[in-house]
Structure 1
Amino acid sequence: MCKITIIGGAGTLGAAIAFKLAGKKAIDEICLIDQNEKLLLNHLMDLENAYPSKTIYKGTFHDLKHSNIVIITAAIPNRTDISSRDEFLEGNLQLFRQIGEAVAKHAPNALIITASNPVDVLNYYLVHTFQFDKKKLIGYTMNDSYRFEWALRRVLKLHENDKVSSPVIGEHGETQVPLFSQVKVNYKPLLLSEDQKIQVKEKLTNWFRNFNDLGINRTTGWTSAVGMERLIDQLLQPKTSTAIGSAVLNGEYDVSGISLGVPLAVNHTGIQSILEWEIEQKEKELFQQSAEKVKRLINEFIMNKK
């Protein structure tokens, strides 16, 4: 039996995730928390009809009690006039102070998934400020790997039945590191030409800008819901499996004191270990650059504001 609480349940991300998770037999209770009460009730009434046998309800921070997993999607309103997720940071840190205090009080032993942006900084903030067990906090970054797969499929013209592994590590942002050295198709390593890599990188670089240029105040709800369902499936199992997510590092990949996207071994108790893959030298250098970017943000917005 499993209870999941979604903080930010009325937003695009939270509502899409709730819809996907409500169909899981292993999840018998879903609590949705949001300040936008009418929109939350709108989603709730719809979800109750879609899943009439499931316990889904509107809650407050007090209802965090007995949560097995807490998913945080709450954020300041999405905007389209930005070029970086970092522009959400200051406003979201204020929200996360309230959220962190509530989770620490009512669900201190729950697994916590941070899905608000910038994910890496906010995930670290929760560990640093509230002393949560770092093995129980994962920043959701899997959309980057899904977009990497999308770009690979378009450039390489892969068949729809081909199985693609396309991990992306580093910051969930502009300095993310697609691991071309780890790409596999149908479980076999795939070597891309330099021209193919350039084409894939161009698609990835332009995606965020093109998405915002549409001028629609909506985030990537469906992609996030698909990825979150996959991650939750892994976190409900006693068997350990590999995921990609932002975790607080302590020397892995020669990085410490920040949260960053890396390969993880996870199960129902959280992060079992951080997997240090053999990656190419250039990928290592890009990962270090990504780490420096996130470290600067942490120093500016967290460490220097005590």
Structure 2
Amino acid sequence: MHVLVVGGGGTIGSTVAYTLATQHPSLEVTLADPKAERAEGHAIDLFHSRSHAAHAIGRPEFEASTLGDVSVVDPTSSPEPDPVEAADAIVVTASEPRSSDSLERGGRLSVLERNLEIASDLGEWFASADPTPTVVVANPSDRVTHRLWEASGWPRGSFLGYSLSETARIADEIARRVSAREPSNGDVSPADVYCPILGEHGEHIVPVFSRTTVDGRPVEFAESERVEILDYVRSVPYDVIEMRDNGDSSRWVTGRGISLIVSRLLEGGTDPDADPVCLATPLDGEYGLKGVTLSVPVVLDGDGVAEIVEWDLSTDERERLERAAESIRESLGHR
């Protein structure tokens, strides 16, 4: 199996590549980046991380006979053979370098125009290859996913805009709140929380509180608590950036989330008994919305989105989803 990471020389791209490479030792990974020397440095280090199979401590984790290659290509040089055609899954992290504006809440939109241009160029590159499931991480991921889909000519189900970090963050916050509310029941783990998030990867996230459960039990929050939970999820990635004091993003939660999606795609899709996962994909009438890419519940298969699941939403949730769609349309110049 072969994964192409476009933007693999960057912080998020290299984090994704490392996570995938160590979780799947036989996986072939190609880092595509015009900054080829930087990407080559990551590639060497990544392969050496697998080479711990050479000693007794590392041998149980790796099988030396199945170590996959880690390679580098410059996408601006028309590489042959075509790494897009060779890929079983693609991750797009290529992005305009982050400015100081991008480090503050709402900052994802500060790189919108340049990242849309990058998406258009990548779509032209992808267009000559067969459709391949593609996870888009470059911010703002819903807008970039939409532009990449338009430029590629591939089926809309080939594209998944990443948005799982919010789901992880809200699970952590809800677990803390329920633990404080019900101390006699002990600490609640985020693993026991289910609160899917629809909408935009940004300010217009739409937590589906009507479906929220803790250890399988429905849980209710007052409106004031919902506002506080929303504020936490919107703000915490920027708090993390500030705490790190070097503009470093929350790449661990992102890298782990992307690797989970790619692993599921490579395995051929979702367990039929599992809940759908909320990721951004272009809509064509689902939830009454067209011409926009939003996070919605999807079922995955080896080609990407096998099915978009339409949940019954509360009136407030549906209105928030429509506002998210309008925000995305406006920023793309669509009406």
User: Please, what TM-score do these two structures have when normalized by structure 1?
Assistant: 0.90
Aligned equivalent of 2:135, options 84, 95, 113: 113
1:197 partnered with 2:226: yes
> Does structure 1 retain, via aligned residues, the 8 Å contact 2:162–2:280?
yes
Matches within 5 A, 1:1-306: 2-25=1-24, 28-52=27-51, 53-61=67-75, 62=79, 63-82=83-102, 83-105=106-128, 107-157=129-179, 158-160=187-189, 162-214=191-243, 216-241=246-271, 242-299=276-333
- CA deviations on 1:240-295 (whole Å, 9 max, x unpaired) are 34221101111111111111111101111211111111121101111111110001
> Does structure 2 retain, via aligned residues, the 8 Å contact 1:243–1:265?
yes
- CA deviations on 1:202-261 (whole Å, 9 max, x unpaired) are 312332443454553222211111111211122123353422110111111111111111
> Does structure 1 retain, via aligned residues, the 8 Å contact 2:278–2:297?
yes
User: Counterpart amino acid of 1:37?
Assistant: A
Three-state SS of the structure 2 residue aligned to 1:132 is coil
Measure how far apart 1:130 and its partner are: 2.5
Structure 1 unaligned segments of length 5 or more: list them.
none
User: Which structure is richer in relative contact order (CA contacts within 8 A, separation 6 or more)?
Assistant: 1
How many residues align? The count is 299
Task: Assess, with a 3 A threshold, how the Cα gap between structure 1 residues 259 and 5 changes in structure 2: closer, same or farther.
Answer: same
- 2: distance between equivalents of 1:191 and 1:279? 15
User: Counterpart amino acid of 1:65?
Assistant: E
- 1: distance between equivalents of 2:234 and 2:161? 21
- 2: distance between equivalents of 1:26 and 1:245? 26
Task: Assess, with a 3 A threshold, how the Cα gap between structure 1 residues 162 and 93 changes in structure 2: closer, same or farther.
Answer: closer
Three-state SS of the structure 2 residue aligned to 1:146 is helix
Deviates further, 154-163 or 219-228: 154-163
- CA deviations on 1:51-101 (whole Å, 9 max, x unpaired) are 132211112333333111111001010123343311111111222222222
Structure 2 unaligned segments of length 5 or more: list them.
52-66, 180-186
Measure how far apart 1:166 and its partner are: 2.0
User: Counterpart amino acid of 1:177?
Assistant: V
- 1: distance between equivalents of 2:117 and 2:101? 21
- 1: distance between equivalents of 2:319 and 2:87? 39
> Does structure 1 retain, via aligned residues, the 8 Å contact 2:296–2:309?
yes
User: Please, what TM-score do these two structures have when normalized by structure 2?
Assistant: 0.83
Identity %: 23
User: Counterpart amino acid of 2:91?
Assistant: I
Deviates further, 196-205 or 245-254: 196-205
Task: Assess, with a 3 A threshold, how the Cα gap between structure 1 residues 108 and 154 changes in structure 2: closer, same or farther.
Answer: same
Task: Assess, with a 3 A threshold, how the Cα gap between structure 1 residues 212 and 25 changes in structure 2: closer, same or farther.
Answer: closer
Three-state SS of the structure 1 residue aligned to 2:100 is coil
Flag the structure with larger Rg: 2
